Structures are given as C-alpha cells and as structure tokens.
C-alpha cells in the first residue's frame, strides 16, 4: 500500500462541532493565500485476505461484492460533503485506496468516477490513482480502469522474494507482481508506483538489496520504499515476527536510498522516491497540509473555511455494513484548534526532504509565523531543523529522528 494518510489518519483532539460553531480562536485566523488546494480520497475497504501487518480499515471480502450499493453510498457521501466551502474548488487529484480497490470491476470504477465528475469540477490535469494488488490483477480490469480515467496505478508489490511474500501473508508471488506491471503497461499506464518494504522477517542486508534491485528493474515511475512496522491491533502485534535489529534496519535504509538515487529516483519524502516529474501529487497535497474530502467506510477529510477561520476534520462511519445502511455516513466532525494545526502541519510538512516554504505555515493554518516559536528554536538548537529562515526543512538528523522533531512542535 502506498504510504499516505488515507482513511486511517489519526484525528486531532479538537472539540466536536455543531453545524454553526466556529469559536473566537477560529475567527481570529487569517488565510492570505485563500483556501488550500482540494483533493478527494475514496476508500474501498475489502481485501481477499487481511495481511498480518495491516492496520488500515480493511475487511475480508465476501462474494459478490456490493459494488452497485457501495458506489451509491460513496456518491451519497460525496453529496453530503459538497458544502459551499468545498463545492467552489476543483479537485486536483483523486486517490482510490483500500483495502484492495482492484477487486472492483472497471464498470464500478467508471460509474464512481462519472458520478464524481457530475458533482465536482476536476482540474484539467487531475491525477487519478487506483491501488491494485498483484493477486487481483486482470487485464480487462486494468484496461477498463484506464478508460474510466484512472491515469496512475499504485501496485502493492511489498517484496519480490517468494519466502518474504509468504511471511507477509501476501496472496501473490513474484511472477504475478511482474506480470501486474506488464499488464498495466499493456493497458496504457505510463505512471506507476510500486510499493516495497524492507526490514522483513529474517531479511538480510544483501537480501534487501537484491529485492530492491529486482523492483528497480521493473522501471516504475515512482517507488514507495518503507520499513515494515509492527502496528497495534494487527496479527503481527499479537504474534511478532523476528525482524532485523536497529543497526541492520538503518543500514538497509541507507543502502536503499543510495541505490534508488543511483537509479534515478529522487527521494522527496521519507519513504517516497520518484523520477523527474512523477512525484505523487495527491500525497504532496497531504504533506503540504492541503484540504481533502474523504468518502468511504472510515475515511477522513479536512476542510478549511477561510471566511470563518475554521479548519475541521470529518470522519465517515468505519464499518462497511453500517456505512452502506446509514443515510448519514458521518461519524464525527471536529474543529482543529491552534495546537492541532501547529502539530499537524509539522507532522506532514517535515516529512518532505525539501521541507516547505516558511510562508506555507500561515497560508495553511491562518496563524502568525510567531506561533511556531519556541518549537522552531529548540529544533534548531538540537540540529533537527536547517537554519533557513525562509523554509521549514529537517536536517538529515531531523529526518532520521523525525518523531522527536515533530513531537517538539506538539509542545508549541
């Protein structure tokens, strides 16, 4: 799964909102650049089998999938969220994630995207991504996705070692992963992301190198390369596998960064690497603290109302069954307070290797730049931030200890 915020973003701790509540603090915010860019995330929550490391809102699919009813529910969810503050802005990108979206037919995806276009303006060059699992690839599906308007695929390879794929509980083998890329190319896709993990159970540094070399040989435009982590409430958390030690993990990461750079993939985020012009625009909007609508079971959204100064998050009902049955798909709506805004912008923006322009803080939060002090001063003193007055950018040490860097902004 491509690493981005998606449906399981942990919400801030802001207060629940009434329909009219804004509050004095929100009213004091000023957004000189106007509202942020707007994107759409669509969550399709079903998988063939739940992977033991996965903590996303995904559920084992029963046949047949309720495609028609779920697309109806998604579009009803979108209708409910097209409040004036969102309806006035074109969608810059759409990301269909999961779960395993490639379980859905091309007909269902086409009806979904047609429904979105009927309700929202799309930017002329909108990036439209769909996630696919190599174990569910079908040439007819891929061709139909392309005809429907999907112009970017994100394929969850995770490893090209048969033994490691088995250890990860994946339903595909290395040959199927390679075939998925070939099928995507044949369907006309020229913008493909491939996911790969390192730090797998029993993996050596040499094995990680061989795995990554095999992935690079498939020549994707984008690679998400990230460490296997043991998340709470997963099968791996209950029965942890033996994973490499910290020194080995550090060596794997440094080796991977160097190998990807040598192959022409520039690192632009902690775990994202791209060829020229192929950065994931949808994820960049998250990392630059843009706005997004989230539809689907368990999806989250973030919207900014520059007139009231309100920035709020909305969550959809998590259970697919309840989501399908409920007229009101919303489970909560809450305002981000000033402390939430400082922390969340840091959490996102500091993942970017180039950071962000310092003016983005006020543009996205409506708060004065002085609100970042003294967190910024502490981070500078600790060597975690670059001493660049016009940018917020982590040092190499700050990227290595990103959790510590971000936590400092939580104290702001």
The highest-confidence range among 2-6, 147-151, 163-167, by mean pLDDT, is: 147-151
- 59 in Cβ contact with 46 (< 8 Å): yes
Q: Which domains does the chain have, with CATH numbers?
A: 6-285 (3.30.750.200), 337-412 (1.10.10)
* pLDDT at residue 103 in the model: 94
At 127, give phi and psi (nearest 5°): -85, 125
Termini Cα distance of the chain: 33
The arithmetic mean of pLDDT across residues 340-357, rounded, is 97
* pLDDT at residue 243 in the model: 93
* pLDDT surpassing 90 at residue 386: yes
Which tokens go with 138? Answer: 């079908």
Nearest CA to 2 out of 49, 41, 39 is that of 41
- 329 in Cβ contact with 77 (< 8 Å): yes
pLDDT tens, position by position, 240-296: 999 999 999 999 999 999 999 999 999 999 999 999 999 999 999 999 999 999 999
pLDDT tens, position by position, 17-66: 433 344 446 778 999 999 999 999 999 999 988 888 888 888 888 888 99
- 367 in Cβ contact with 29 (< 8 Å): yes
DSSP sequence for 201-259:
TT--HHHHHHHHHHHHTT--SEEEEEE----TTSHHHHS------HHHHHHHHHHHHHH
pLDDT tens, position by position, 64-109: 899 999 999 999 999 999 888 888 899 999 999 999 999 999 999 9
- 259 in Cβ contact with 215 (< 8 Å): no
pLDDT tens, position by position, 102-142: 999 999 999 999 999 999 999 999 999 999 999 888 888 99
Percent share of the chain, pLDDT over 90: 80
* pLDDT at residue 60 in the model: 87
State the average pLDDT for the chain.
91
Question: How much helix, strand and coil, in percent to the nearest 5, is found in the chain?
Answer: 40, 20, 40
The pairing of beta strand 91-98 with beta strand 272-274: unpaired
> Look-up: residue for tokens 């939580």?
410
Crossing angle of helices 139-148 and 106-119, in 10° steps, is 10
* pLDDT surpassing 70 at residue 5: no
The arithmetic mean of pLDDT across residues 152-167, rounded, is 94
| Overall residue count recorded for the chain in this entry | 412
Which tokens go with 10? Answer: 């942990």
């Amino acid at each position: 799964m491509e690493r981005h915020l998606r449906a399981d973003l942990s919400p801030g701790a802001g207060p629940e909102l009434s329909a009219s509540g804004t509050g004095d603090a929100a009213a004091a915010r000023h957004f000189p650049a106007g509202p942020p860019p707007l994107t759409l995330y669509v969550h399709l929550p079903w998988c063939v089998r739940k992977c033991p490391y996965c903590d996303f809102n995904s559920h084992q699919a029963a046949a047949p999938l309720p495609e028609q009813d779920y697309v109806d529910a998604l579009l009803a969810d979108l209708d409910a969220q097209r409040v004036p503050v969102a309806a006035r802005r074109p969608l810059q990108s759409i990301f269909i994630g999961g779960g395993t979206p490639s379980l859905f037919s091309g007909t269902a995806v086409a009806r979904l995207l047609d429904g979105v276009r009927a309700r929202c303006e799309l930017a002329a060059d909108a990036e439209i991504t769909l996630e696919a699992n190599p174990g569910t690839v079908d040439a007819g599906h891929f061709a139909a996705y392309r005809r429907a308007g999907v112009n970017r695929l994100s394929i969850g390879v995770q490893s090209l070692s048969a033994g490691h794929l088995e250890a990860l509980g994946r339903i595909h083998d290395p040959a199927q992963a390679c075939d998925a890329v070939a099928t995507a190319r044949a369907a006309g896709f020229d913008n493909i992301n491939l996911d790969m993990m390192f730090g797998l159970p029993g993996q050596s540094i040499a094995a990680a190198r061989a795995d990554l070399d095999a992935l690079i040989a498939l020549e994707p435009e984008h690679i998400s390369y990230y460490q296997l982590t043991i998340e709470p409430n997963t099968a791996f958390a209950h029965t942890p596998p033996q994973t490499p030690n910290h020194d080995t993990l550090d060596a794997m990461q440094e080796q991977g960064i160097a190998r990807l750079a040598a192959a022409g993939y520039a690192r632009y985020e902690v775990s994202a690497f791209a060829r020229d012009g192929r950065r994931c625009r949808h994820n960049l909007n998250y990392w630059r603290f843009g706005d997004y609508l989230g539809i689907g079971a368990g999806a989250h959204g973030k919207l900014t109302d520059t007139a009231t100064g309100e920035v709020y998050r909305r969550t959809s009902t998590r259970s697919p069954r309840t989501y399908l049955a409920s007229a009101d798909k919303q489970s909560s709506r809450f305002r981000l307070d000033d402390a939430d805004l400082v922390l969340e912008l840091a959490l996102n923006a500091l993942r970017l290797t180039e950071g962000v322009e310092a003016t983005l803080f006020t543009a996205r939060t409506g708060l004065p730049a002085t609100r970042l002090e003294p967190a910024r001063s502490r981070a500078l003193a600790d060597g975690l931030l670059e001493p660049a007055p016009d940018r917020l950018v982590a040092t190499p040490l700050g990227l290595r200890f990103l959790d510590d860097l971000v936590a400092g902004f939580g104290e702001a």
